[in-house]
Chain A
Amino acid sequence: MAAVRGPDGRFIKAGTVSDQTAAFSAALVKAVMEATERQTREIATAILRGYQGTPGILRVNPTRRLPSGNRVGTDPSAPGEPPKQVTGTLQRELDTDTERQGDRAVGRIGYRSGSPASQYAPALEYGTNRMAARPFLRPALDAHKQDFIRRLQRIGEKLG
């Protein structure tokens, strides 16, 4: 399954995608079980592209401007809104990672531990006990679920 990792490095469970993919799982399982490292990277990249195409913080190649914040914090994002772009760090540092787990290939989206964005992305995505969340990864995942499935299906079909 294509698992997706949240900004804190923990998994956003495969279930968030695979819940809706029961009918497709035969092709997916085949693709994943027989996937090479290159194909695994392709899966992770496909998911990342889905994120990057999402209006909001993750639109790295925007045809329209993101809502901009400012560095002194007088115009912050509202609770529930995706974070406003200030330095672009959240977009720039979003990364993919792939790994073999037994006979499964796992692609992840998130921030590498130790990167500047990893210091504050979890607080934005999940909120804290003192700050309401400004989620931006899970809405992108949900909005692109069908697209992820189609991309994975194509990879599965290519593997035949």
Chain B
Amino acid sequence: MGVLQVNVWNGLAAHLDAVSSFKTAIGGRIYYGIAPEAVQRPYAVVTFIDDVPFNAFTHDGYETRVQFSIYGDEAIGHRSVIDIADKLRARLHRVRFTVVDHEPMQAVFANSRGALLEDQLWRMDMDFILRGFESGS
């Protein structure tokens, strides 16, 4: 990850670390890229989908897509991961968060996928577009 992307990740992580029903539901277990082995469920994995720092096609700001994957045990049922994803959406959609050395960013819900059964885990994915604007633009 580039410096800006690290800052965006840190800003997003700080926003999600604040007390929220999403954080409570996920037990604070949010990992980047891939979760540690045999981690307690439920948990969330965050992946940056686009590592192009500036999207010249739209504007001079930073725009990137992040994927959240919520995993829960099969036994607790698919509704539980959908409920957690709904809490995540409520926590992020159209919400601004601060980024070091950058203008605030806004997360906008893009699409969801699931719930799917994967290796005896329920999985629900949700994508957000993160948008930020450089000063003066």
Interface residue from B48, B63, B108, B109 paired with A80 (Cβ < 8 Å): B48
B130–chain A nearest beta-carbon distance, Å: 11
Q: A126-B125, A127-B69, A130-B119 are in contact. Are A145 and B57 (CB under 8 A)?
A: yes
Are B121 and A129 in touch, CB under 8 angstroms?
yes
Are B47 and A138 in touch, CB under 8 angstroms?
no
Q: How far is the CA of A128 from the CA of B116 in the complex (A)?
A: 11
Are A143 and B129 in touch, CB under 8 angstroms?
no
Interface residue from A130, A133, A143, A145 paired with B52 (Cβ < 8 Å): A143
Q: Contact residue range for chain A?
A: 20 to 34
| A19 close to B (CB within 8 Å) | yes
| B58 close to A (CB within 8 Å) | yes
Interface residue from B35, B50, B58 paired with A139 (Cβ < 8 Å): B50
Q: In the complex, how many residues of chain B place their beta carbon closer than 8 angstroms to a beta carbon of chain A? A: 31
Are A138 and B58 in touch, CB under 8 angstroms?
no
User: How many A-B pairs with Cβ below 8 Å?
Assistant: 80
In the complex, identify which listed stretch (A10-18, A41-49, A91-99, A113-121) lies at the interface while the others stay far away: A10-18
Are A19 and B110 in touch, CB under 8 angstroms?
yes
Q: In the complex, which residues of chain A have a beta carbon less than 8 angstroms from the beta carbon of B125?
A: 126
A116–chain B nearest beta-carbon distance, Å: 20
Q: A143-B52, A145-B57 are in contact. Are A6 and B110 (CB under 8 A)?
A: no
| B65 close to A (CB within 8 Å) | yes
Are A127 and B58 in touch, CB under 8 angstroms?
no
Chain B residue with the shortest CB-CB distance to A146: B57
| B16 close to A (CB within 8 Å) | no
Q: How far is the CA of A145 from the CA of B109 in the complex (A)?
A: 16
Chain A residue with the shortest CB-CB distance to B125: A126
| A142 close to B (CB within 8 Å) | yes
Give the B-binding residues of A (Cβ under 8 A). 6, 8, 10-13, 15-16, 19-20, 79-80, 126-133, 135, 138-139, 142-147
19 pairs from A and B in contact (CB 8 Å cutoff) = A16-B127, A80-B51, A126-B125, A127-B34, A127-B45, A128-B119, A129-B35, A130-B34, A131-B34, A132-B34, A132-B47, A133-B49, A135-B47, A135-B49, A135-B50, A135-B67, A138-B127, A142-B65, A143-B55
